[in-house]
Amino acid sequence: MFDCELTRERVMNTIQPGAKNFLNLSIDALVQYALAQQEGVLAANGAFLALTGKRTGRSPKDRFIVKDAITEKTVDWNERNQAIDNDVFHRLWNKAQQHLVKKNLFVSHLAVGADARYQLPVTVITEKAWHMLFARHLFIRTFTEESAPGSWTLLNASSLKLDASADGVHSDAALILNFTEKKILLCGLDYAGEMKKALFSVLNFLLPEKDVLPMHCAANEGKEGEVALFFGLSGTGKTTLSADPERYLIGDDEHGWGKEGVFNFEGGCYAKCIDLQKDKEPVIWAAIRDGAIMENVVLKSNNEPDYHDATLTQNTRAAYPRDYIPLCVESNQAGSPSAVVFLTCDLYGVLPPLAKLSQEQAAYYFLSGYTALVGSTEVGEGSGIKQTFSTCFGAPFFPRPPQIYADLLIKRLQETRANVYLVNTGWAKGPYGQGGERFSIPTTRAIIRSVVSGEAASTEYDLLPGFQLAIPKQLSGVDSYLLDPRKNWVDKEQYPLFQKRLIDSFKENFKRFQVSSEILNAGPI
């Protein structure tokens, strides 16, 4: 029943023989192993359900980068990019190896980056079968018997609990990136998204030197080859809006943009499940089936998933390969975009549902990364919703100084003349918790249709004072009163007060950036 058994030396010569290694197992075999090892259960929809314990999201305080000759002067060291000594890394790597000596290991030779010119091979080693199933879904499947030259190694010792004081870390878990040795170590972390974002961070460090902009965005393509990008933090709509029944999916979360066009970093999707509904998100609903993974989803008594139950976390997840999406771009890459969308979830309810940005405004809002934290993606965020500014719409994953990524964005926009839009998927008619209502998915889909069809590029615009944003006078399928936040508020006298609060927040946050006067003046006043 279980195939591809190999000797341990064949897989990783630094771990001594002791148990079995399984190379490049199929989806079915990995599910069988995960069930046999009691790592989770099957739900009625056929998906494998795993629980990740106390960490139901990423753990940023436990993430480190080895500080050495490569990274010392190139990484933007801060609370997100924490330095760790190379000696500490080696001690923990050896500790993980000893921990895994007598365990079954699951191994796959995979890759990240669909464009062969920039592709990064990676050998993934996990002790849990469902973690390998996740890697098989989310990364690009190369499946050779030997690791490729220059391959990175990702070692996931998920059951190894650390001693913070003795091991030189902050808790019982750690994720460490070592750029010199091309290694990623995870200890004590069951949340599978940590593996995906670790490799995303690696590409975000490496690709700017190759004149490629790494992006925390989704991408899809129309039937005529027109490409759209969707930037945004988790919960703002990247996966939902890119999974369009009328367009071809490239990817839902991580891409690179070079002179030749856009390419996906991944081979699968990692969608939020909370409040998932078949009629509103049919593509995602159908993809959660045999072989897919669900994380921390509560099951009903009949074993059906209850997507509305947030007992364990708001950050319930599903992972599945791209080929579970009926319409996807087979090559996993495409040409340059004609439309770039910044998705923001505005809690104040003062931003319009659509605004067309100049290139200077694009740089300003890209560096600002204003949105809301929705669904406790990180450990310690709590269950509420709160405002945040996340540079490049993904601050935790970008090791270099943010201006490097902003400069590359402007370069790509100047080369392609792509239209850039700010789309508010958050609140209208008032603030969150004070009478406001969140834009419905059908309304936002109508907004996006106007963008990808080209209607938004040619319609008439008014100027929204304060934010200096160009807002459309009308769009097909959208009530006109929703397009101007000054008009849709229930208590119109309160709008200027909340507008000023948000503008003040933008100005305070932007003090940390050194930019040209053109970009600075493109912000709200």
Is residue 417 annotated as a catalytic residue, yes or no?
Answer: no
Q: Which of 109, 136, 137, 197 is catalytic?
A: 197
For residues 250 and 122, the answer to whether their CB atoms sit within 8 Å is no
Distance CA 302, CA 451 (A): 42
Is residue 253 annotated as a catalytic residue, yes or no?
Answer: yes
Is residue 317 annotated as a catalytic residue, yes or no?
Answer: yes
Q: Which of 317, 356, 400, 449 is catalytic?
A: 317
Distance CA 169, CA 220 (A): 40
Query: Which pair of tokens denotes residue 30?
Result: 């990995």
Nearest to residue 289, comparing CAs of 301, 300, 278? 278
Is residue 171 annotated as a catalytic residue, yes or no?
Answer: no
Nearest to residue 206, comparing CAs of 256, 252, 250, 156? 256
Distance CA 78, CA 11 (A): 36
Q: Which of 8, 238, 445, 449 is catalytic?
A: 238
Distance CA 489, CA 494 (A): 8
Distance CA 357, CA 467 (A): 11
Is residue 58 annotated as a catalytic residue, yes or no?
Answer: yes
Q: Which of 216, 255, 438, 449 is catalytic?
A: 216
Nearest to residue 227, comparing CAs of 422, 452, 459, 419? 452
Q: Which of 59, 151, 201, 234 is catalytic?
A: 234
Q: Which of 239, 313, 391, 450 is catalytic?
A: 239
For residues 119 and 263, the answer to whether their CB atoms sit within 8 Å is no
Is residue 234 annotated as a catalytic residue, yes or no?
Answer: yes
Q: Which of 58, 80, 131, 438 is catalytic?
A: 58
**How, if at all, do strands 105-112 and 120-126 pair?**
antiparallel
Distance CA 454, CA 432 (A): 31
Is residue 239 annotated as a catalytic residue, yes or no?
Answer: yes
DSSP for 18-57 reads SS-EEES--HHHHHHHHHHTTS-EE-TTSPEEE--TT--S
Catalytic machinery residues: 58, 197, 216, 234, 238-239, 253, 317
